[in-house]
Amino acid sequence: MKICRFNDNRLGLVEADEVLDVSEALGVLPALRYPYPVCDQLIAHLPELRARIATLAPTAMRLPLAQVRLLAPVANPGKIIAAPVNYVNHLKEVLADPNLHHDNQINHIERAGLFLKAGSSLAGAADGVTLVLPDRRTDHEVELVAVIGRAARNVKAADALAYVAGYTIGLDITIRGPEERSLRKSPDSYTVLGPWLTTADEINDPGNLAVELLINGQTRQKTTTSELILGVEALIEFASRFYTLHPGDLIFTGTPEGVSPIHAGDMMIASIEGLGDLQVQIMPALAL
Ligand code: MN
């Protein structure tokens, strides 16, 4: 099932080039009182939600996919976890280029560990990326994203995929420079997610998906997830040793080689096999 959020927080089922408006299914989500649980309620209740979507789909209103505004498919992730350098060829390109490493300590992922991006940086395809420091080099990073489906703590890699609700495409937009990653990668709109959530049952092997990113029609990044140093299973094992993973937590798995600067007016298209095309416009910086 391909589930999207669109327009003014509508819920959609994506079928080919159409979106079926199944917003009524949101009625299965519980009414909550403060203090709210630290997880995304849509993902936490995905099984009930899917059953309701299936019931509503045959009579749902259909809209052309090209005419809806796609929002981030997970609205309230408790954590946005990301792998810093998780493809061998990207590690080599970062170590070789002072404009990428800025004398920051660059380590193999098993030494460097993971980092977190701010929840407020989350954006959907229709939001675009608004550059905050246009005179600083700012790069695209296309990444496979695993969406956690149920609470996970000290999970073994062999069991890890049972904790995944689905997959989507992420853009980990990055200002190059000496500051901490969590600062350079967390301005508003620097974490793009979409175009929709593809549920895990549709992806046989997250470790063998073609990945590509184009800027203005030119290929910049192209690989498969078989080149990941730590795959989705190993990342869940690693992350769940440090913190409990909750439904809706996102794991950005890292970017392959080919990172390059983006500029206002550019159109990015990020594609991952089975997950769709994420089309994102780069907007000019806001006037101060
Ligand atoms: Mn990244």
Q: How far is the CA of 171 from the centre of ligand 1 (A)?
A: 8
Contact present, 200 and 167 (Cβ < 8 Å): yes
SS3 state at 251? strand
How does pLDDT run across 32-88, given as a tens digit for each residue? 999 999 999 999 999 999 999 999 999 999 999 999 999 999 999 999 999 999 998
pLDDT band at 90 (very low <50, low <70, confident <90, very high): confident
Q: How far is the CA of 252 from the centre of ligand 1 (A)?
A: 7
- Residues surrounding ion ligand 1 at CB below 5 Å: 141, 172, 255
Residues forming beta bridges with residue 219, ordered by sequence position: 214
Is the CA virtual torsion 9, 12, 16, 18 positive or negative?
negative
How does pLDDT run across 64-78, given as a tens digit for each residue? 999 999 999 999 999
Q: How far is the CA of 144 from the centre of ligand 1 (A)?
A: 10
Q: Which residues have a Cβ under 8 Å from the Cβ of 247 and sit 6 or more positions away?
A: 39, 40, 43, 44, 46, 148, 149, 150, 151, 165
How does pLDDT run across 169-221, given as a tens digit for each residue? 999 999 999 999 999 999 999 999 999 999 999 999 999 999 999 999 999 99
- Distance (Å, rounded) from C-alpha 266 to C-alpha 277? 16
Q: How far is the CA of 237 from the centre of ligand 1 (A)?
A: 19
Q: How far is the CA of 173 from the centre of ligand 1 (A)?
A: 7
The whole-number average pLDDT for the span 85-113 is: 89
How does pLDDT run across 130-179, given as a tens digit for each residue? 999 999 999 999 999 999 999 999 999 999 999 999 999 999 999 999 99
The whole-number average pLDDT for the span 218-244 is: 97
Q: How far is the CA of 253 from the centre of ligand 1 (A)?
A: 7
Please, what is the Cα angle at 139 between 92 and 116, to 5 degrees? 85
Task: Delineate the domains of the chain, giving CATH numbers in brackets.
Answer: 2-67 (no CATH), 80-283 (3.90.850.10)
